[in-house]
A = this chain, B = another copy of it.
Amino acid sequence: MAFKSDIEIARAAKKLPIQKIGERLGIGAEDLVPYGHDKAKVSQRFIESIQDRPNGKLILVTAINPTPAGEGKTTTTVGLGDGLNAIGKKAAICIREASLGPNFGMKGGAAGGGYAQIVPMEDMNLHFTGDFHAITSAHSLLSAMIDNHIYWGNELAIDMRRVVWRRVVDMNDRALRQITAALGGVANGFPRETGYDITVASEVMAILCLSRDLKDLEKRLGDMIVAYRRDHSPVYCRDLKAEGAMTVLLKDAMQPNLVQTLEHNPAFVHGGPFANIAHGCNSVIATTTALKLADYVVTEAGFGADLGAEKFMNIKCRKAGLKPDCVVLVATVRAMKMNGGVAKADLGPENVAAVKKGCANLGRHIENLHGFGVPVVVAINHFSGDSEAEIEAVQSYVSGRGAEAIVSRHWEQGGKGAVNLAMRVAEIADSGRSQFAPLYEDEMPLFEKIRTIATRIYRADEVLADKRIRDQLHAWEDQGYGHLPVCMAKTQYSFSTDPNLRGAPTGHSVPVREVRLSAGAGFVVVICGEIMTMPGLPRHPSAESIRLNEAGQIEGLF
């Protein structure tokens, strides 16, 4: 059989009407708000009506530190969901939405790959159901209201130099990173420096993804700090009376989106916060809704387990009262080889020694996840070139770490390729073995929280933070923000803050460059390294070759 590309497979898919997918979860057509024939939102009313139901089992899919070889985390999430359905379980998938802007720089991403994909792929890479546009609108409204408030007399005494609320757009536009606004004289306001981030970096996005319901959303929006006065006292979104109108703009976006896998299994695709300055998981409301509707919910977290799973556990689970019943850690033989020092071009030939050497990264993630009290299954996402001896090397390594590694062939075979993985995961999730607890208590001082993550997850020797940063953390503790979790922003390529340090480094330091308070989302962002919140376009952006062909199909997007 000739290999088809992801987009070819996705286009050939025979989708069911979305109402049929809803039916399988017990959602009536009247409670599905359709967006076309293959996408729908689940109505607020329906979500409210199911709150008394028991929860299904929650399965988190995470991964080793990403390598250029590709691990296939989303592919495995989809494959496992299909696999669970294939063995007769009622399972749903929860993943994040894609950001529109970056697709016009580099080619867009599938939701999964091979025969483990979520469709409609093109819509999901474009406007989808408009959630990100709604977030951009809500964010932009607040931006306009801040400068408007200053324009009309600045009753709140905002220090114009200390407006921390920037603007956002869902487009890679480096020219907007730093601007001077309100030029042109009296009628246009008071000139000041500001800039744009990409929409997924908006605190509004993080809030939408952490809010339990619209009421919670409105409260959190009101809690956001938009500026400071000369005396350094904060000015809140609430002070500008913006949170009500922002909630109105977000009311549809708060409803989770339902789509389907190639095998017609339900997938919720909702929310997409940055995985560095935010927590990088799909929305709480999608996950909690899915848990009421399915017996097993497979979800994923951004980046490797050191960032994604850590935030999933310490931020999302903590805030939403969730408890993962099983964690699936995705690895590939190829990635083990790369961690073992093999260059991407040389991944072809069998190299058991390199695989063994590269397993250290995997091993540390297993240990870390066990530290949260959760059982771990390693999914070896199978590639055709993997040799039996290489697979055996990974499995043997993993079983020596109190876990087990199962080969999964969902990319090639869809759900039936993931049956072994699904059976074992269901067994573990049902076993009640999980004794989940976050890594630290709310009461721990902020700097201790950072140190706990740095030493216990990253295995660093120390955290470096100058007095200015420690003073800032103390000040927030004094203002009542000491109970918040911390949201680490560092490279995803290494346990350390050096992206080139693969494997399982020790003896390193974690330098904290900056801390930011996301008072509405409810976390303190800890920035360790360069964090880009507004990407640029490459010399030849993919937009140059994106077009509709004669058949009305989109070319160049994938």
Contacts and interface: CB of A to CB of B under 8 A. Distances in A.
Interface in A226-251: 240-242, 244-245, 247-249, 251
A188 interface: yes
Interface stretch (A137-145, A312-320, A365-373, A396-404): A137-145
Contacts of A181: 175-176, 179
B245 A104 contact: yes
Given A141-B543, A145-B541, A546-B248, A151 B178 contact: no
Interface of A: 30, 33-37, 44, 100, 104, 126-127, 130, 133-134, 136-137, 140-141, 143-145, 147-148, 151-153, 169-184, 187-189, 193, 195, 214, 218, 240-242, 244-245, 247-249, 251-252, 536-537, 539, 541-548, 552, 554, 556-557
A30 B139 CA distance: 36
A556 B173 contact: no
B543 A245 contact: yes
Given A127-B133, A175-B181, A214-B552, 18 more contacts: A35-B35, A35-B36, A127-B130, A127-B134, A140-B170, A144-B172, A144-B173, A145-B537, A151-B175, A151-B536, A174-B188, A174-B189, A180-B183, A214-B548, A241-B543, A241-B544, A244-B548, A245-B542
A244 B556 contact: yes
A170 B241 CA distance: 20
A218 B548 contact: yes
B244 A148 contact: no
Contact of A148 (B126, B184, B195, B541): B541
Contacts of A245: 104, 542-544, 546-547, 556
14 contacts: A34-B37, A127-B130, A141-B543, A144-B171, A148-B175, A174-B189, A177-B184, A177-B188, A183-B193, A244-B543, A247-B547, A247-B548, A248-B548, A248-B554
Interface residues of chain A: helix, strand, loop or mixed (majority): mixed
A221 to B, nearest CB: 11
A277 to B, nearest CB: 18
B147 A547 contact: no
Contacts of A240: 544
A20 B144 CA distance: 41
Give the one of A130, A179, A556 with max B CB within 10 A. Answer: A179
B178 A248 contact: no
A87 to B, nearest CB: 34
Contacts of A545: 241, 244
A187 B173 contact: no
Contacts of A187: 174, 536
A524 B44 CA distance: 48
Contacts of A137: 100, 127, 133, 170-171
A167 B174 CA distance: 13
B140 A171 contact: yes
Nearest to A128: B130
Contacts of A134: 127
A137 B152 CA distance: 30
Give the one of A147, A148, A182, A187 with max B CB within 10 A. Answer: A148
A245 B187 CA distance: 36
B177 A180 contact: no
Contact of A169 (B140, B145, B188, B195): B140
Contacts of A542: 245
Contacts of A184: 177-178, 195
A257 to B, nearest CB: 13
A152 B543 CA distance: 15
A134 B181 CA distance: 25
A332 B537 CA distance: 54
A175 B152 contact: no
B174 A151 contact: yes
A388 to B, nearest CB: 45
Contacts of A145: 537, 541, 543
A174 B193 contact: no
A182 B189 contact: no
A104 B139 CA distance: 13
A542 B249 CA distance: 13
B147 A244 contact: no
A152 to B, nearest CB: 4
Contacts of A147: 173-175
A277 B30 CA distance: 43
A244 to B, nearest CB: 3
A138 to B, nearest CB: 10
A251 to B, nearest CB: 6
A98 B557 CA distance: 31
Contact of A36 (B34, B148, B173, B539): B34
Closest 8 CB pairs of A and B: A244-B547, A178-B184, A147-B175, A133-B133, A144-B173, A245-B543, A245-B546, A241-B544
A172 to B, nearest CB: 6
Give the one of A30, A136, A171 with max B CB within 10 A. Answer: A171
